[in-house]
Structure 1
């Protein structure tokens, strides 16, 4: 599967620009080289390169590695004695590909050239062939954002060597996210006020979308009755939350609320758990007998979660309880009246189970007196900001934190389809609030969890280099369009023409304002 990445275009260009400026090749045009030793060249400034914590290597005009500093050895996990004299492409053969670009300045103006027609095995080789500084955006094996920049070293008008350095720009990107936080917080606060100014301020069902408004209205209506309710929806949509809301709004809210997960009780124990048993009913039974869950829930509410897992043999006995309003203990001889409001919940298609013969039709009709379907989160994404703020407030209070979401992080959450629904979002935000001391939850942190830790690595299996480059270019354009809103502003930021940006955005199916 191809990766989806967010590339901080402005940081990418600025970082590369600083590197190119700081290592300007023209400053070394007259540099005298020291004698070679064991295949390693020593420049007059090599002593400074040795102590830098930035990985640096130098190749000659043939592409052979002639120098690496200690930081490079640590970064690449290679000793210089093993790489000196070897071709750069041979040494970097296992490295990930990246997105190549070049920055040039003339008369105070700046232009950025993206190499989308020709690709290279390394930035250094690209510099040899282009005769100018070339940079590459990529990710490290630890998912950090990197800018790799190569600059030519001239002597007597000819390129003698190419110096390449690598800079981690992850912190630059995170800083950009933090700066955007102020705007995002205003939006979140506005949404939060809007939520609590509605008539549903006390409801545990969070959201202002129409489908959630309709759901709250249905819950309010159902709570005033004692009718049996069947709640359906995918895993994680909040079926138990809706059940508790019905209970809290009902006249039974001071009476017992009992929850039973039908999938968690062994089939041979299900009947005795639900209906209880008389003393001596079976081998190993308590001599005092046992009260079942229906009796414990008497005058209150009983939730049968995952009702689709109810054993077929037990279904007629549950049907009898619903019809007769009484239970029979295992080993008993007389019925015991019960006054229980029953709510059943499932993520399965009971109608299909009825057709397949695994669920009784008459029981289904008895349960389905008032059906409530809870929509998956992907069907009401407009509620994601409110849900996010709700969980942030809850978990910040619980764990003594004060973390906030950046605009980019919230945008990513809104675009995501949430196969695990609200429960997945809840777990994600609690995890991010607990882990780390940062004040902001960023796009990078969320991507690593939602998209998987390994999604940052460029996927080469089954993909051509052209396809890989296209993926990076698409990510750059997508980020620029989302950041600046129009093709004109995006073109200005990328030092390109509006026509080019519009054409490429259309090719990649990207949308803009």
Structure 2
């Protein structure tokens, strides 16, 4: 049990405390009250600080003195509260002094000094008025207010009694019996026990942190770091003082922010990631701290990974370097959509493994970025990343690129080989790749020329399920297919990720404007059109299209018609689907109008919209709507579009 200091304003309270502590029940509890002292209010802060310096962990005090100690120190303060029985004795004594029917008695002090006295008026036939001061500075003012209200007697502490005496008003000091001290001692015992438990838990946690085999970070409910162990300081290369108070994602930027937020709010069960710290690669696990099913902070543990070192070269072999450096990381990948977020999350998990990865994604998707990111978050990140494409190559060319003395497997020794268009691999090179993956041998053209080859392999094809179909048809080795299929990753195309597509279009437009010192923006209808396009070329197609759009734009605000014209010029087959959709929508609305489901005003609005999208060109509008120019002219005449302002800017 911690040391307790009793600081009181009256000598009799010290005597009462001595008497209580002599009782058998208190002697058996081994109460350690290191200080029992009568203290004047003006000295209370000094005395309290001296008690703390002497080892006191709890202070028992009363009234104004307790409030001052709370204000100027951080130590727990147990307040001596007058019990109902003690207050009743004071009321009886006041009635004896006043000898008056229904006397007016004032109680002055702080609210937390007194028990509940709601029914004292009816019980004791008095009028009880309470004057509770909000702070120490106003205590005398409240005592004066009681005097000014012509009360018959004042009950309170030192300040109240002195003020009443100055104005010749009878008063009673708020004296205690042993009851209130017993209550205070009981409260101090409970607080001391709770503090001892907390100290024990803190000591156990500190020991656990200090002697843990991994780095440990403790964070609160807002994601702020509250504690780190020495090993984590070493892993980060930063002292504890620089880490405490910062957010977890500030120190570990590669952690998925959304997963961290879900963990801290209790929506997620935790997350894991492969991180690159100053000291090397670590496997990190973030788990929530749950109290009665509710999250209250989290703990991040980091375990250092053993980096896979390339094998020492054999006698007579010469180590070759010159492989490409993988520059991209997961944070570089556009992932506003849930589909891409899930894809990246799976890729992060694959970075923890050393097995081969099969990436399936259309031309222009983030397959290459994902391969580089997986490599950079794997245990092989310090070694090379070699990227080759087998598309359109014959057997000898593929062999030279992949397995020759200067091939990708040799250049990326200890690192990663990324093979695009893996469906083009010839049967012989499929077998060589199987040998490299399964037996860590870089096959030569003869068995005697086989060399040790320690690389991780990632392959990419453009069609989902392509290797499965080829394996079923017999054009791709089944054993190699099953070896690659274990860690497969499907990259969703941009057309299935509207959030990512919109972000990519906006970014590409902005970048092109900055590059060419232009100031253009897309109309809402133009953006809607672009979002509806299929974009089979994905990122590459969007980037090139947007740059061309900015280069050739003649107006500051780019409308839908301009966007459609460029799409038709660059990719005619894709733009036809857009025209067909526009024509189908208009004809459907026209049919609704014929059936009475579309007002004349709406018909005119739709026709004006079609003309606007084609910059008022009647020939292009008629073609887009799938009608003749004569029919279009008849509609325009019917709805009065040729009259007034509606006929402006119309072109043949």
The TM-score normalised by the length of structure 1 is 0.46
Question: How does the TM-score come out when normalised to structure 2?
Answer: 0.37
Whichever structure has more helix as a proportion of its residues is: 2
Q: Which has the higher contact order (CA 8 A, sep 6+)?
A: 1
